[in-house]
Amino acid sequence: MKNLTNILPLDISPIGALVLVFVGLSIAILASISFSRAVKRIRLLRTIKMHSLINESLNMIAISACNVNDNYTEIEAANIKLHRISRRSRILSQYISDRLIQLRKNLSGMSSSALKKLYDELQLHRLAKQKLMQGDHTLVIKGIQELAEMKRYEDLESIVGFLHHYHSSVRRETRVALINLSPDDPLVCMKQMKDPLSKWEKVLIYNKLRSLAPDQVPLFKTYFEHPNPAIVCFCIELAARFLQYDAIGQITKLAFHQNVSISYQAVNAIKLLEADQAVNHILVLLKRTKSVKVKIECVECLAQIGDSRKLAPLFEKALNKTKNSRLLKSLSKTFANWDKVGSNVLSSMRFTGKGDLMINHYSHRLIN
């Protein structure tokens, strides 16, 4: 064996030693980077393979759900695969949950029911409920959305508590979830609500109410004393649209409410319900109120539910005295419409100034 000193001399200069150390470190770093990239690529390929397997299994279950007897073996095999994958990691379980929810949105009938059953069997709702306990409001919103999309009526109580969350987006998402999940009363989210209802929430509530049987529709008059004026207005509108005539008495009282929006909505509801017993109350309100918006609605309401011959003299005085262009327009339209339906009230009326011109304008057969 040759002496090592002949191969690697021991008298290395300091610079040479530094160069050797630098080269060694460079080789180690490059090897580490290459190994890290290889591991990441292997993980990526494995993740892609798992995602492909998950999508294939979910599609198999959704497609085969309509013919369970013919494809029972395939469905069972797909279920076993998904159960095994969901146990591997939380990330894969979340991916299964996301894909399942996304796929179920576009399906109905047996396929939708099969995916809902699979969601419950895999206990994916636990992931959603874990998000509800997080401090990040985006995770809370995602958890609420998942439970609502999968119709988890059992977890309704877990969602109710977020009606008073500090973040407005969480409160809004909670209301939407309660509207969709509440089996009987979609107005349950409004009992202690302080935020204004958005147009989207109103549409959801209205569609939910329309899907209920007539005997299941709640009594909207129970919300007429709600501290939130926006809720009161919306419930007055619902009472009128669902023809709840037993609420006419309370609606008539609300017509004299100090809040202009509530007063206007109450008069509008009386008009829609054609409550002719409230004519005298509307006449009193027309004289008392200072809001032009409410006055115009009173005129339109009286024109629909009142007697044109009795109202014509009162409207004549109002038309000749008023200086507000919007109210003048409403009164002129009322007289013109009465004339078009043949009430013959214009023959005994005497109008001056703009009133006469506007009535002649709206009386034309081509003007609505």
What angle is formed at CA 42 by the lines to CA 41 and CA 46, rounded to 5 degrees?
Answer: 115
What are the domain boundaries of the chain? 48-123, 319-368
Q: Sign (positive/negative) of CA torsion 221, 224, 229, 233? A: positive
368 residues of the chain, pLDDT tens digit each: 445 445 445 556 777 777 778 888 888 888 888 888 888 888 777 777 777 777 777 777 777 666 655 556 666 777 777 777 777 778 888 887 888 787 777 777 777 777 778 777 777 778 888 888 887 888 888 888 888 888 888 877 788 888 888 888 888 888 888 888 876 777 777 776 777 788 888 888 888 888 888 888 888 888 888 888 888 999 999 999 998 889 899 999 998 999 999 999 999 999 888 888 888 888 888 888 888 888 888 888 888 877 767 766 676 666 666 766 777 677 667 766 655 544 444 444 444 554 444 444 444 444 44
The tokens of 156 are what?
């309704």
> In this predicted model, what pLDDT tens digit does every residue of 326-340 receive, in sequence order?
776 776 677 666 555
| CA 256 vs CA 261, 262, 265: distances in Å | 11, 9, 11
Is there a contact between 232 and 254 (Cβ–Cβ < 8 Å)?
Answer: yes
Distance CA 302, CA 287 (A): 13
Is there a contact between 269 and 239 (Cβ–Cβ < 8 Å)?
Answer: yes
Ordered DSSP codes for 164-230: G-SSHHHHHHHHHHHHHH-SS-GGGGGTT--SPPPHHHHHHHHHHHHHS-GGGSPPGGGGTT-S-HH
Q: Model-level pTM?
A: 0.68
